């Protein structure tokens, strides 16, 4: 995936939600949204895959601490369409992130590396249309 948007020093605090809206390219094999402290430490690696690395229409979630990946979590919910806009909300709680998908489906991912505030966002393979913190 080509390098996309990287934001440092933004502030997602526990109890708040980051809502992202983006356009998925027509030829996308996958896209990724990473939330954490920096490029070596992700609280969440969110990676929907249309057809990538043996996964077909699955969301792969993981964490990364000091560049070491954790255990993958695979989700079967997959509301994404190539060439279409989507919205995703990440709600930061003390022990998990609640991920709310555009079709209303939700799932949680455990916080394996507690942070007071998520300050790093990186997006690859998706065109950012808007984001809001609330």
Q: Please report, for the chain, the start and end positions of each structural domain, with discontinuous segments joined by +.
A: 5-91+114-133
Measured distance CA(29)–CA(16) in Å, rounded: 30
pLDDT digits (tens, 9 = 90+) for 15-61: 999 999 999 999 999 999 999 999 999 999 999 999 988 999 999 99
Whole-number Cα distances in Å, 111 to 25, 35, 114, 126: 30, 11, 6, 24
Tens-place pLDDT, residues 79-128: 999 999 999 999 999 999 999 999 999 999 999 998 999 999 999 999 99
Q: State which CATH number among 2.60.120.200, 2.70.70.10, 3.50.50.60, 3.40.190.10 fits the domain covering 5-91+114-133.
A: 2.60.120.200
């Amino acid at each position: 995936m080509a390098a996309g948007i990287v934001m440092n020093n933004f502030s997602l605090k526990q109890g708040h939600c980051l809502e992202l809206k983006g356009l998925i390219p027509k030829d996308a094999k996958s896209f990724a949204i990473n939330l954490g402290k920096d490029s070596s430490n992700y609280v969440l690696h969110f990676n929907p895959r249309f057809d990538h690395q043996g996964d077909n229409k699955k969301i792969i979630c993981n964490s990364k601490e000091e560049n070491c990946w954790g255990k993958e979590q695979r989700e079967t919910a997959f509301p994404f369409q190539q060439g279409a806009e989507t919205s995703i909300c990440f709600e930061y709680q003390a022990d998990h992130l609640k991920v709310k998908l555009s079709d209303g489906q939700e799932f949680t991912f455990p916080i394996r590396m507690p942070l007071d505030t998520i300050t790093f966002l990186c997006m690859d393979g998706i065109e950012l249309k808007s984001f809001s913190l609330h």
